[in-house]
Structure 1
Amino acid sequence: MSSFLKLYKIPLLFAVISVALYASFGYDLHRSNFAKLLPLYGALFLLAYKLIQITRGNFWVLFGFGIAFRLVFLIAIPNLSQDFYRFIWDGRLLLQGINPYLFTPEMYTEGISGLLSLPRWLNGVEASELIAGMGALNASHFSNYPPVNQLFFAIAALFGKNSILGSVVVLRIIMILADVGVFYFGRKLLKNLNLNPHTIFWYFLNPFIIIELTGNLHFEGVMLFFLVWALYLLFKGKWFWAAVLLGVSVSVKLLPLLFLPLFFNYFLKNKKDFSLRFIPFGMTNLILFYAVCLLTVLVTFLPFLSSEFLQNFSATIALWFQNFEFNASVYYIIRWVGFQTVGWNIIGTVGKIMPLIVMAFLLVLAFFRRNETLPKLMTTMLFGVSFYFLLSTTVHPWYVATPLILCLFTKYRFPVVWSAAVILSYSAYGPDGFKENLWLVATEYIVVIGYAVWEILFFKVEENKFNANKLKL
């Protein structure tokens, strides 16, 4: 024990300081206190960088640190996001056999009869606390969380009983287990791709991931667990189960739907199925892959399907494109141009056009990039999702988790920079209410886009040098 302490005294010191800072973050910070939030986050990011740097190669020590940092938040009520109140609400509706897609929390306060017969654990004081916690905007809309997400909400309601904190603890355990799953399959995939497995700690020890997913209970980590597992199985040639897991990932968060076109060339360029030697990996299996994935999604939605569900769910999803604005980049420039030319906010029009541009870009990536290897496919996925976020009207900080995990399997690291810079978006939550500081938003994206452009140009120059040397030989 003494030799261990002597050998790892610096990493242990950094870890103890990190635990203290995470405790301050989780139990003694209000979202509106940006003056405290920013230096806390910056210090945690610097400590994570040093831990990854000086403890290189010691898997169990760094893994233990990652678990310990997450457990700091175990009984903390999330303080940077209100979404968890809606998670608990939806879960308790589902547990009582009530379709969460057909009722808004606002309907409860208005006395809709279908919600008045709920048992004690979703009545009275606690129901009011959940509705007040999620806020009027969230309470006025139908749920937009897909069915597998709802299943986890119901698990939290089942084991959390009539305690909000109890439900939070259950959700947090789910988040930690999901991150362990991402770590496990991510590390295995890095090894199989002959990449440095130590790279996975830029996910597992990243304070952005620990705070946003474990701390604030956002389900990107659960989605990414199924996505990374699916990609690992796809690399192993087990495309059927990869398709099932990809479908489950979509049913946690809809975002992986963006990736479906990008598998086109991966299947066509790999003509042999590694698990079934006599079956081609080409067009037939591509069609089956899509069919299995979409069928999995459909099966998860089946218990809720109705015309009313389709109307409510699609209308709520549309709000994200045509009504909500937060931490956007290209869209804010377009919005400014709209004010200068027509004199009003053109989000209603732009919100309908942007998805079409994103889809066109994804189709170009699908058909014209050679995605014959998994690293090339994941590079394409990285640029596809990054382009989507650049054109989005709303980019919440936790969205960056997806490009972050993807970049670890590529040569690009700009999402790591983004995971540090995205904290600037929290400057919008001040003591006087919500108001974005567009200078800080601009700083965030100038840094991230600037670093991404530098990486693209740098690797292009290196590739040209490599090709030139090959020609000389």
Structure 2
Amino acid sequence: MIKYALLSALVWLAVTLLSHGFLGTGGFFYDLPNREMPFGRFFVLYSSAFIIYLAVILKVSRIPSNNKNIFILIFSAIMFRMILLPGVPVHENDIYRYIWDGKAAITGINPYQYPPIQASIKPTSQSLQVDFERLKSLRDEDPESYRRISFKDISTIYPPLAQAAFAFAALMAPGSILFLKTMFVLFDTGVILLLFLMLKSMKQNPLYTVIYAWNPLVLKEFANSGHYDSLALLCVIWGAYMMIREKWTFSGAALGLGVIAKFYPLIFIPFFLIKREYRAFFFSIIIVCAGYLPFFLWGQADYTSIFSGLKTYAQEWVNNGFIYSLIIMPASLFSLNPAIIAKIICLLLYAAIWILIFFDTMPVLKKMFCAVTMLFLLSPVGFPWYFCWVIPFLCIYRNRGLILLSYLLILYYFIFTRDIGGFTLWGATMGWLMLMQYLPFYLFLLFELLNKYRLSKATKRLIQ
């Protein structure tokens, strides 16, 4: 384990140095044109980290799960994150929106009430003048961060618990990317510790925590890029651990907090009904409502403004969704608005699969795993960091195809540096990059299914 840990640490150190331009490149600084950023070199390093990661996973079953190896696993995972923390985010700028939302909140402005662009638009109403001056002041005190915010004309999409985290960071270290990333890494470390406890509770080898703890995609998206999804993951895995311990009320509380951190844990809440844990179900709903209540009472925000960002996201966002892209091609033949048709079909497909999962006799934890995996695969938006929602469950339900996908998704970022193009069919275009990410995954799944089928046939023959 020590040998692999040291090799991985060297790779992640090289990534951090590369991001700052110390390896003969300009690095990943925001103002550098995307095409000049060294993503090709990053990809080589990422691939090296993934090869080491695969080697460790393959050896885990043969390594004794003693205190020494457990310590090496967890200490190394924390060390990798510490190495990546000072790095420049690789092709990411979401963190600047987190900074804006947090600073707006501690200034006394409801972050849902105004999109950032409002700081540059003088209000027609005198009653809004005070808020305008505050927004303008926020913009002018850190113009670089403001300039780097994407989609300034859209109100924030991030739920209340995320807003609380952003506000806390703004109070403790205004405008600090490092503080925000450190916070997200602490949440991420909490996920690792909970997974370790879960595996022990389930009488599984706790060293399989490495599937999440050393996963290169997780390390890149949280410790380097500073995505806040680790907060929602912490809530979800805490909720799952409480399920295993049959502490249902705590599980309901955790998943309720997960929903107000990132909406996707909402798909897990109805699973309490299977166990007839109605108190946990209603408790989670109450927490979601309580999380939003202060924002409804704050300033002049209403239902429309609080959920306007989410509405825009649901209507307009499409990015890197493979199945959605397959559906939109034939939909283009029959509809003037194929995007809406494709989204509706994806939604109906997911609803049908979710219902099958709900009524299946599999354990609740496996239902959660299947539900979140299918959510990612059927979503019109397949950002790589969204797949991090799936990876913790792979420690328990190990799936080689999904581990492969966690590697392939990094190819998405080549979109910033290479114009690889795509092909057009029936008026809709699919990028080659998307095919490179998903086609090997689906072919591998097909290969696995065929192998299982052959094995089952061979077993039947032996029995006969």
Q: Deviations over 1:202-225 (max 9, x none)?
A: 111111101101211112211111
Distance between the aligned counterparts of 1:409 and 1:402, measured in 2?
A: 14
* Pair 1:320-2:320 in alignment: no
1:379: which partner in 2? 366
Q: TM-score, normalised by structure 1?
A: 0.83
Corresponding residue number in structure 1 for 2:149: 134
User: Which residue does the alignment assign to 2:159?
Assistant: 146
Alpha-carbon shift at residue 121 of structure 1 (Å): 7.0
Q: Paired residues, what number?
A: 433
CA distance in 1, matches of 2:110, 2:163: 10
Mapped to 1, the partners of 2:161 and 2:145 lie a distance apart of: 21
- Confirm or deny: 8 A CA contact 2:73 2:207 kept in the other structure: no
Distance, in Å, in 2 between the alignment partners of 1:216 and 1:263 is 34
Residue 433 of structure 1: how far off its partner (Å): 12
Q: Structure 1 residue 251 and structure 2 residue 265: aligned?
A: no
Task: Give aligned-pair identity as a percent.
Answer: 23
Instruction: Quote the residue 1:277 is aligned against.
Output: none
Q: Distance in 1 between matches of 2:113 and 2:319?
A: 27
Structure 1 residues 341 and 353: alpha-carbon distance in aligned structure 2, compared to 1, 3 A threshold: closer
Match of 2:349 in 1: 357
8 Å CA contact 1:11, 1:54 repeated in 2: no
Q: Partner of 1:332 in structure 2?
A: 325
Matches within 5 A, 1:37-436: 37-52=42-57, 56=63, 57=65, 58-112=69-123, 113-118=129-134, 122-126=138-142, 128-135=143-150, 138-161=151-174, 164=175, 167-265=176-274, 267=275, 283=276, 285=277, 287-305=278-296, 308-342=301-335, 346-367=338-359, 369-371=360-362, 376-430=363-417
Offset at residue 95 of structure 1 (A): 0.8
Is 402-411 or 309-318 further displaced after alignment? 309-318
In 2: Cα distance, 1:149 partner to 1:319 partner: 19
SS in 1 for 2:227: coil
The alpha-carbon distance between structure 1 residues 352 and 317, as it changes in their structure 2 partners (threshold 3 A), is farther
Amino acid at match of 1:107: Q
Q: Whole-Å Cα distance in 2 between the matches of residues 464 and 178 of structure 1?
A: 46
Distance of aligned partners of 1:27 and 1:184 in 2 relative to their CA distance in 1, 3 Å threshold? same
Which residue pairs with 2:439 in the alignment?
Answer: 446
Q: Is the alpha carbon distance of 1:359 and 1:130 closer, same or farther for their aligned partners in structure 2, counting shifts above 3 Å?
A: same
- Aligned-pair CA distance for 1:234: 1.3
Cα pair distance change 1:402/1:456, threshold 3 Å: farther
- 1:22 and 1:72 in contact (8 A); partners too: no
Q: Displacement, 1:347?
A: 1.2
- Inter-CA distance 465–240: structure 2 relative to 1 (3 Å threshold): farther
Question: 1:18·1:69 contact (CA, 8 Å) conserved in 2?
Answer: no
Structure-2 separation of matches of 1:119 and 1:321 = 27
How far has the Cα of 1:148 moved from its partner? 0.5
Partner of 1:273: none
Deviation at 1:309, TM superposition (A): 3.5
Q: Offset of 1:83 from its aligned partner? A: 0.6
Decide which moves more: 443-452 or 78-87: 443-452
Q: 1:183 to 1:414 in 2, by over 3 A?
A: same
Helix, strand or coil for the counterpart of 1:134? coil
